[in-house]
Amino acid sequence: IYSLDPEDIESVSVLKDALSTLLLGQKSSRGVLQITTKKGISGPPRISFTAQTGFQNALKTPKPLDSYQYAYLYNEALQNSGRAPAFSESDFNSYRSGNSPILHPNVNWYDQILREDAPITKYSLGVNGGGKTARYALSLSYMNQDGMFKSVDDLNTNLSLNRYLINSSIDVDVTKNFNLALQLFGRIQDGRQPGAGTNTILSALQSTPNNAYPLLNPDGSFGGSSIFASNLYQQTTGSGYLLDNTRDLMANLDLKYKFDNFLPGLYASGKINVIATSSSLIDRNRKQPVFDVTYDVAGNPVYARYGSISDQPNSFGTTSTNNTFYAQGTIGYETTINT
């Protein structure tokens, strides 16, 4: 279904119970979604072009507590458990005034790593026509969808999706009673995400308070600590990338012969469907250390390092392949009963 452009769909039907069982046997136990695509219509070539563009944005994102509120509630939770507070009055004053952004950070990570909106663009080109004995239809489609992470342009690690679709069909009346229809579908899809992984980043985003660590340290290194050994900003902008490549090819061949010379309404039909799918992954992820900053008695920064710089791989591997063959034969009789 991912190999279809909505512009190519003529109708969608849900088949269930006896009808779906008749068509697909046990494979139809959960129902069948039947999609009919547009076919060629006799006449001069008709060309259509559609361009769509827009912006995506999250309907709603959580509003995290600022560092002062978080520290206050954290101390309250410790007090309720009979434990000593973790934050002093001096800490509260620094969080409130913002005069110590390295030792007392107040970073809204949702604002730092998420974009307010992301563009999406789609183009579709279709050609349709034919004569009395043969009809054809051809459509090409391209879609580009950007992700919601902020990124550094030079590194290009943001979420993105590029999809190319082709759908072609030819319908031929070989003889008065014999019809042949061939459809070919193809999809090329390339998806990019930060090397740290989208799920990893989103999970860390939900569990990282505003006062966990500064975005960057005074020397430009990534902030962090023994508890937070990964920096969200580094994960979204400097962790390399993962590139998922998917290739689909699908072919449908339909044959129908009418035995009208023998018995009007009697026919035999056959269907052959072949699907080939392949997915691969290019891994270019990169890890970098984080640094926790403290100051000595002379006011000089002291950096404690957590993690290390990893080599950036350039690995390629096939993650999945799938080939499916389906054949169906039918003998039927069509007639009209007047009541």
In single-letter form, the type of residue at position 244 comes to: D
Residue 48: is its pLDDT beyond 90? Answer: yes
Q: Show me where the domains of the chain are located.
A: 45-63+114-333, 65-107
Start-to-end CA span in the chain (Å): 41
Output the pLDDT for position 21: 57
Local confidence band at 334 (pLDDT 50, 70, 90 cut-offs): confident
Q: What percent of the chain has pLDDT over 90?
A: 68
Lowest average pLDDT, out of 71-80, 94-103, 276-285, 308-317, goes to 308-317
Residue 177: is its pLDDT beyond 60? Answer: yes
Q: What is the mean pLDDT of residues 55-73?
A: 93
Output the pLDDT for position 141: 95
Q: What is the DSSP letter of 288?
A: -
Output the pLDDT for position 102: 95
- Over residues 1-11, the pLDDT tens digits come to 666 778 788 88
Q: What is the mean pLDDT of residues 306-330?
A: 88
Local confidence band at 41 (pLDDT 50, 70, 90 cut-offs): confident
Q: What is the mean pLDDT of residues 111-124?
A: 93
Top-confidence residue, 20 or 310: 310
Tokens of residue 28, six digits: 């139809």
Mean pLDDT score of the chain: 90
- Over residues 151-161, the pLDDT tens digits come to 876 566 778 99
- Over residues 234-265, the pLDDT tens digits come to 999 988 899 999 999 999 999 999 998 888 88
- Over residues 191-226, the pLDDT tens digits come to 999 999 999 999 999 999 999 999 999 999 999 999
Residue identified by tokens 């090329």 is 188
Question: What is the spatial distance between Cα 124 and Cα 6, in angstroms, rounded to a whole number?
Answer: 10
Output the pLDDT for position 17: 65
In DSSP terms, 58 is beta-bridged to none
Note whether 92 and 72 are within 8 A (CB).
yes
Top-confidence residue, 76 or 240: 76
Output the pLDDT for position 36: 80
Reference 139, options 47, 52, 215; nearest CA is 47
Identify the three-state secondary structure at position 114: strand
Reference 124, options 250, 245, 4; nearest CA is 4
* Dihedral angle over CA of 81, 87, 89, 94, nearest 10: -150
Reference 128, options 41, 5, 252; nearest CA is 41
For 37, other C-beta atoms within 10 Å of its C-beta total: 18
